[in-house]
């Protein structure tokens, strides 16, 4: 199981929100490239880069940060936040992202999303399923829908999507443990799905619990920045796996 550190961006800085609340923002580093290089130096291969400004605005804002990290590291980067058109999708790939993370558009314009899967390949797209009370949320988690998370993931899985990460918004940034029951339910319903867990991870025990239930990866943010998971622990995990 891959550990995928998250770098969330506001005003070009590395930040974290609590439960997706833009008013509950903590700035951890003003230089995201420095953070990305620290991860790469210990053997991390993947990076989850989120343009929170873009998610809120509905158009990409922090493309320069993506370009900088992609051109100065060898990390496999998935980038999301504000990708609402094929032009913006192209710009993300041109800037160096290996995968584009799509959430809101897959909900609001599924036919457009499916056309991107056909054109670019399922391997280039990562579907973000953000969940509140088992329902999908969109627009940087600011808007709830009545779409059931399992129904949503099933539709996209059967369209060929391979890269799916799921965030329980109630867990995100709370450092109180991930939504194990949610992930087990999803994987039971969709047998061949390898899901990437996101939200709530507070320590390495949480990481190992997600590995045990069969998650394909875990996105970790606040636990690293708050020192709940140390660089040495990350390094040890990578070396052992």
Q: What does the pLDDT read at residue 203?
A: 96
- State the burial class of residue 27 (Cβ atoms within 10 Å of its Cβ: 0-12, 13-18, 19+): exposed
Q: What is the pLDDT of residue 143?
A: 74
Buried b (16+ CB within 10 A) or exposed e, 210-241: bbeeebbbbbbbbbbbeebbeeebbeebeeee
What positions carry a catalytic annotation? 8, 130
- Cβ neighbors of 39 (< 8 A, separation 6 or more) are 5, 47, 75, 234
Tens-binned pLDDT, residue by residue, of the chain (241 aa): 999 999 999 999 999 887 777 888 899 999 999 999 999 999 999 999 999 999 888 899 999 999 999 999 999 999 999 999 999 999 999 999 999 999 889 999 999 999 999 999 999 999 999 998 899 988 655 678 999 999 999 999 999 998 899 998 888 767 789 999 999 999 999 988 989 999 999 999 999 999 999 999 999 999 999 999 999 999 999 999 8
> Hey, what domains does the chain have and what are their CATH numbers?
2-240 (3.20.20.70)
What local confidence, expressed as pLDDT, does residue 224 receive?
A: 95
Q: Give pLDDT, residue 141.
A: 58
The answer, as to whether pTM is greater than 0.85, is yes
Can you give the pLDDT at residue 108? 92
Q: Are strands 163-168 and 125-132 parallel, antiparallel or unpaired?
A: parallel
């Amino acid at each position: 199981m891959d550990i995928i550190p998250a770098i969330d961006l506001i005003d070009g800085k590395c930040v974290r929100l609590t439960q997706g609340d833009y008013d509950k923002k903590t700035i951890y580093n003003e230089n995201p490239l420095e953070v990305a290089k620290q991860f790469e130096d210990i053997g991390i291969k993947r990076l989850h880069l989120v343009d929170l400004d873009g998610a809120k605005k509905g158009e990409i804002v922090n493309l320069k940060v993506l370009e900088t990290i992609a051109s100065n590291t060898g990390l496999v980067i998935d980038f999301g936040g504000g990708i609402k058109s094929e032009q913006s999708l192209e710009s993300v790939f041109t800037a160096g992202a290996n995968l584009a993370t799509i959430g809101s558009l897959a909900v609001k314009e599924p036919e457009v999303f499916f056309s991107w899967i056909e054109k670019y390949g399922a391997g280039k797209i990562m579907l973000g399923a953000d969940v509140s009370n088992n329902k999908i949320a969109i627009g940087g988690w600011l808007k709830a829908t009545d779409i059931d998370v399992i129904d949503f993931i099933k539709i996209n899985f059967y369209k060929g999507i391979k890269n799916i990460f799921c965030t329980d918004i109630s867990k995100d940034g709370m450092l109180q443990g991930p939504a194990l029951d949610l992930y087990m339910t999803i994987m039971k319903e969709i047998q061949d799905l390898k899901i990437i867990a996101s939200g709530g991870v507070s320590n390495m025990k949480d990481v190992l619990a997600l590995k045990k239930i069969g998650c394909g990866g875990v996105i970790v943010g606040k636990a690293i920045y708050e020192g709940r998971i140390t660089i040495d622990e990350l390094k040890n995990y990578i070396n052992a796996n």
